[in-house]
């Protein structure tokens, strides 16, 4: 039951101590809910990042604790974490913002502005749905053990959310109880899902998906990578998906010279402010498409259609072990 890497004691502390302790504080001091909500949103996002890391490199060496941990962090993330497998591991990492990627940043436009970034969640979530449903269908018919784990995660997420809503109402009454649950668990879960997709969008929009090293944008801030468990180093993550999050900075440093300096940003917040606010007044501060556009494949490059995507998803699900 011990994590495979000692660095993951911190992920366990975040997910199994701090996150639930914050929920307890919400429920015991409902008047603090509006003030604590932002912190709860952070922990929802952190659990989403931890879920991503966990689905690439399981935290424990045995299946049972990995299964239990997946269900536990699903509650704070707001969605069963198995969904990372078909939509991210098997799809996004294969196509990397090219045609065939369910999470492409350019589906309806290749513009980069606050409206496109802010609504990306809804577009991306819709197109990821086909991959998730195909994965579940394949698991139900061919991988009963995997299907049971999927059912367990769904049951845990929505069962615990419903239970906690009931507890809040029973303890504080209908009106106050609803807002206790909303600030403690509802809004943080929604925020986590939206923010995770915003990170994916920001790390790929206007990058060059046809390049070996310029396909992703990186953020090297110490604080961001501490609080989001190495999530800022995205290029090396695509090159070595099973790399442990704590090794990302060192591995990034080994290959950073191969990347365009424009794709190695220090501050995520400064980048977002510059792109979505200053660039309105000074357009030259905004990003421009690097290299070949994602919808402009080199001669001979395959262009999978929607049917091929589903086939790939179904074929991949037969080999997945979680």
Contact 219, 265 (CB under 8 A): yes
pLDDT band at 315 (very low <50, low <70, confident <90, very high): very low
Q: How far apart are CA 204 and CA 73, in angstroms?
A: 26
Question: What is the span of the domain harbouring residue 180?
Answer: 8-290+303-317
Residues 7-50 have pLDDT tens digits of: 999 999 999 999 999 999 999 999 999 999 999 999 999 999 99
Token pair listed for 258: 């191969």
Task: Count the alpha carbons within 13 Å of 120 in the hemisphere toward its beta carbon.
Answer: 28
Q: What are residue 218's DSSP bridge partners?
A: 264
Residue 288 has pLDDT above 70, yes or no: yes
Is position 308 within any domain? yes
Is position 258 within any domain? yes
Is position 172 within any domain? yes
Q: How many domains does the chain have?
A: 1
Percent share of the chain, pLDDT over 90? 91
Is position 38 within any domain? yes
Is position 295 within any domain? no
pLDDT of residue 304: 58
Read off the pTM: 0.91
State the SS3 of the chain. CCECCCCHHHHHHHHHHHHHHHHHHHHHCHHHHHHHHHHHHHHHHHHHHHHHHHHHCCCECCHHHHHHHHHHHHHHHCCCHHHHHHHHHHHHHHHCCCCCCCCCCCCCCCCCCHHHHHHHHHHHHHHHHHHHHHHHHHHHHHCHHHHHHHHHHHHHHHHHHHHHHHHHHHHHCHHHHHHHHHHHHHHHHHHHHHHHHHHHHHHHCCCCCCCCCCCCCEECCHHHHHHCCCCCCHHHHHHCCCCCHHHHHHHHHHHHHHCCHHHEECCHHHHHHHHHHHHHHCHHHCCCCCCCCCCCCCCCCCCCCHHHHHHHHHHHHCCCCC
- Greater pLDDT, 243 or 311: 243
pLDDT of residue 299: 74
Is position 80 within any domain? yes
Is position 159 within any domain? yes
Token pair listed for 202: 């920001």
Residues 45-94 have pLDDT tens digits of: 999 999 999 999 999 999 999 999 999 999 999 999 999 999 999 999 99
Is position 322 within any domain? no
Contact 262, 218 (CB under 8 A): no
């Amino acid at each position: 039951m011990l994590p495979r890497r000692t660095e993951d004691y911190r992920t366990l502390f975040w997910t199994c101590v701090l996150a639930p302790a914050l929920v307890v504080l919400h429920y015991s001091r409902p008047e603090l809910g509006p003030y604590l909500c932002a912190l709860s949103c952070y922990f929802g996002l952190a659990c989403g990042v931890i879920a991503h890391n966990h689905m690439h490199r399981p935290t424990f060496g045995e299946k049972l604790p990995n299964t239990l941990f997946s269900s536990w962090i699903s509650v704070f993330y707001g969605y069963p974490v198995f969904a990372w497998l078909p939509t991210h591991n098997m799809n996004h990492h294969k196509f990397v913002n090219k045609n065939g990627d369910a999470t492409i940043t350019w589906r309806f436009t290749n513009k980069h502005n606050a409206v496109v970034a802010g609504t990306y969640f809804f577009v991306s979530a819709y197109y990821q749905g086909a991959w998730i449903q195909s994965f579940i269908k394949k698991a139900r018919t061919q991988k009963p053990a995997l299907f049971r784990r999927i059912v367990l995660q769904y049951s845990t997420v929505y069962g615990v959310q419903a239970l906690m809503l009931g507890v809040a109402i029973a303890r504080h009454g209908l009106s106050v109880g609803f807002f206790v649950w909303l600030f403690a668990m509802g809004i943080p879960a929604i925020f986590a899902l939206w923010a995770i997709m915003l990170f994916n969008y920001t790390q790929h929009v206007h990058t060059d998906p046809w390049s070996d090293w310029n396909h992703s944008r990186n953020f090297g801030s110490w604080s961001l990578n501490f609080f989001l468990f190495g999530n800022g180093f995205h290029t090396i993550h695509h090159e070595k998906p099973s790399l442990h999050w704590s090794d990302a900075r060192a591995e990034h440093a080994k290959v950073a010279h191969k990347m365009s300096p424009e794709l190695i940003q220090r501050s995520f917040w400064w980048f977002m402010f510059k792109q979505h606010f200053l660039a309105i007044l000074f357009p030259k501060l905004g990003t421009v498409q690097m290299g070949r556009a994602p919808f402009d494949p080199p001669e001979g490059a395959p262009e999978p259609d929607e049917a091929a995507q589903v086939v790939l998803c179904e074929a991949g699900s037969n080999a997945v072990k979680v």
